[in-house]
Amino acid sequence: MAQSQNDGRGHGSPSGVEAAVPRGDGAGFVRYLPQDASAGFLVFLIALPLCLGISVASGFPPIAGVFTAVVGAVVTTFISNSELTIKGPAAGMIVIVLGAMQAFGYTAGRDLGADMTAYRMTLAVGFVAGVVQLLCGLLRAGVLGDFFPTAVVHGMLAAIGVIIVLKQLPVALGEKAAFEPMEIIRELPETIAGLNPEIACIGASSLLVLFAWPALRSRLGLRWLTGIPGQLVVLLVAVPLGMFFGLDHEHTYDFAGHAYPLGPSFLVNVPRNLLAAVTAPDFSVFTSSATRAAGVLWVVMFALVGSLESLLSAKAIDMVDPWRRKTKLDQDLVAVGIANVAAASIGGLPMISEIVRSKANIDNGACTRFADLWHGLLLLAFVALVPGLVCTIPLSALAAMLVYTGCRLASPGEFISVYKIGREQLVIFASTLVGVLTTDLLIGVLIGIAVKFAIHFLNGLPVRTMFKPFLEVTVLDESTVQVDALDSAVFSNWIPFRRQLCQLGLDQQNSIIVNLEGTKLVDHSVMEGLHQLQNDFLRAGLTLDIVGLDSHHALSKHPFATRRRRA
């Protein structure tokens, strides 16, 4: 039997013995305490400013993001079997939460009473959305994450990234942004011309650190620097700058003949007493005729986008888990739903399995789900015991962190990666991105899916084959089954296709041969899904072989490119 190998961080090899695979149980808590506590501490350093920044950008009080991370860490650790994901607020939900706030009358500080009403109504939306997620998990609806084409999801996330950049760039410069993306673009020259120089200095310095730190860390080649996140370096630069500029007291200063205000309004504001910050949801949003329709719409948006992002993040982290442990997606959705109900009950943001912090968790040596717990407990201890330190963080530094996050979501690399899969994928990606920017998130996603269907139709795919897979099953021997797919294998019929393969293979312990010779079209989503399923079969000691594509033409050189049968 193969011996467990070590990668230098205490991680065992996937090929190691079963006993070497860390488990998030009582024994695992004790055995992997040093690794998990260390990783949790480093993730805490990243999470603190991001939780505060995401909350402020969403229109919530800064402490709401910390509430979410703490509840997510404490609740999901003991319900979900996802070992390495970090639960908490995510930049991808900013647009959704802020949209709900605006729908309920949010004024961005101009009317504090109206803002509190919008906040409490949005909490009610988050509460009900959590219940929906819980029910979806119990009804085993986690598989619905496989319905949405990859290009549509990435287009949606890229659009969210663009919106985050547009909304947070003015904040980093000491200005307030308009609500609509196109309006922000129109006002951008005026915003830059009227920037507050000292606040912009903090924001620009923070952005410079975030973009330069990875390259500088690599160039210096010092191992101890790899554990220092860029967000911490930003705080080490921005907080002293804020003190130097005197942001802790109200005053003005002159620059180039203009007077600019400075004061505590440019700093994070968290309460000294956490219990005083607890806020209850206002469920009148669902009983008032003026807000009922909007309330239901935003519940759908919260549940749909939050669940989709969380499921995709959990699946992505499973793929880089050193021990190749597999998350039970339905169980994880139940955990996230319960945690969202709890978070909304005390004033927290919606949460998901957050991929950036989860990846940092892995990179810093986490072994079990208790790393998530440690990161949440450290957050709670920090804001409860030293809130004064939190209140020294400039808002422009948090905005810069979100600009950096938005740039990563909508980086040129995303466009290039999609293009490499196929030009038609880039069309779907771009259609979704433009649709979200010019309409709203839900309509933009629907536009992307509609474009995907239109491309399939132009490729000659009959409508009757788009939603139902036509499969023929042949038993070859006592442990091998062949499944012949006819007509099409596309994203919209992948869920029942996948279910059949799992039942015949994983449930009944058979190896499967998938013959695609009879298909007219096999799209990228199915090619990627089959590849992921091959890994599931491999972990179960089975094989999933794909044959019959010799007569098909790949639309690009990418291994997951769409295949169209030659005429």
- Per-residue pLDDT of the chain in tens (567 residues, 90 and over written 9): 333 334 444 444 444 434 478 999 999 999 999 999 999 999 999 999 999 999 999 999 999 999 999 999 999 999 999 999 999 999 989 999 999 999 999 999 999 999 999 999 999 999 999 999 999 999 998 887 778 888 998 999 899 999 999 989 999 998 887 667 778 888 888 888 889 999 999 999 999 999 999 888 878 776 677 778 899 999 999 999 999 999 999 999 999 889 999 999 999 999 989 999 999 999 999 999 999 999 999 999 999 999 999 998 998 898 789 998 989 999 999 999 999 999 999 999 999 999 889 999 998 999 999 999 999 999 999 999 999 999 999 999 999 999 999 999 999 999 999 999 999 999 999 999 999 988 888 899 999 999 999 999 888 888 888 889 999 999 999 999 999 999 999 999 999 999 999 999 999 999 999 999 999 999 999 999 999 899 889 989 999 999 999 999 999 999 999 999 987
User: Checking phi first, is residue 548 left (phi over 0); if not, alpha (psi -120 to 50) or beta?
Assistant: left
Write down the residue that tokens 């639960």 correspond to. 87
CB 353 within 8 A of CB 85: yes
Q: Is the residue at 10 inside a domain?
A: no
Query: Is 485 found in the same domain as 368?
Result: no
Q: Is residue 1 part of a domain?
A: no
Q: Both tokens of residue 210?
A: 């975030």
Cα gap 6→15, rounded to integer Å: 11
Q: Among candidates 228, 285, 244, which has minimal Cα distance to 100?
A: 285
* 313: in domain: yes
The amino acid that residue 131 corresponds to is V
Residues 309 and 446 in one domain: no
Per the CB < 8 A criterion, the answer to whether 352 and 72 are in contact is: no
How many Å apart are CA 451 and CA 53, to the nearest integer?
Answer: 35
Find out whether 235 and 397 touch, Cβ atoms under 8 Å.
yes
Query: Cα(first)–Cα(last) distance of the chain, in Å?
Result: 50
- Quick one: tokens of 477? 């021997």
Q: Is 349 found in the same domain as 302?
A: yes
Query: Distance between CA 109 and CA 251 in Å, rounded?
Result: 20
Whether residue 12 lies inside any domain: the answer is no
- Assess contact for 101 and 118: CB atoms under 8 A: yes
CATH number at residue 532: 3.30.750.24
Same domain, 426 and 311: no
Residue 450 CA to chain centroid, in angstroms? 24
Choosing from 366, 388, 404, the residue where a domain stops is: 404
Q: How far apart are CA 11 and CA 321, in angstroms?
A: 10
Model pLDDT, residue 8: 40
Token look-up 């072994």 returns 367
Return left, alpha or beta for 77; rule: phi > 0 is left, psi -120 to 50 is alpha, else beta: alpha
Quick one: 250 and 231 in the same domain? yes
Range of the domain at 56: 18-327+343-404
pLDDT of residue 179: 67
Torsion sign across C-alpha atoms 391, 396, 402, 408: negative
How far apart (Å, rounded) are the C-alpha atoms in residues 277 and 359?
31
Q: Identify whether 3 is part of a domain.
A: no
Instruction: Note the pLDDT of residue 521.
Output: 94
Are 240 and 177 within one domain? yes
Residue with tokens 């180039």: 256
Residues 301 and 444 in one domain: no
Same domain flag for 393 and 423? no
Query: Among positive and negative, which fits the CA dihedral 61, 405, 207, 170?
Result: negative
On whether the CB atoms of residues 338 and 72 are closer than 8 A, the answer is: no
pTM above 0.85, yes or no: yes
The Cα–Cα gap between 524 and 15 comes to 29
Q: Are residues 452 and 376 in the same domain?
A: no
Same domain, yes or no, for 527 and 399? Answer: no
Domain assignment present for residue 228? The answer is yes
Residue type at 361? Answer: N
Q: Are 151 and 524 in contact (CB under 8 A)?
A: yes
86: CB partners within 8 A, 6+ apart: 43, 47, 73, 353, 354, 357, 358, 360, 361, 371, 372, 375
Name the domain count of the chain.
3
The neighbouring-strand residues paired with 518 are 486
Task: Please state whether beta strands 544-547 and 511-522 pair in parallel, antiparallel, or not at all (unpaired).
Answer: parallel
Residue 17 has φ and ψ, to the nearest 5°, of -65, 155
The CA distance from 306 to 291, in Å, is 22
User: Same domain, yes or no, for 395 and 420?
Assistant: no
Q: Is residue 262 part of a domain?
A: yes
Q: Are 479 and 512 in contact (CB under 8 A)?
A: no
- Are 72 and 310 within 8 A, CB to CB? no
332 domain residue, yes or no: no
Cβ partners under 8 Å of residue 137, min gap 6? 330, 331, 332, 333, 334, 335, 336, 337
Do 62 and 132 belong to one domain? Answer: yes
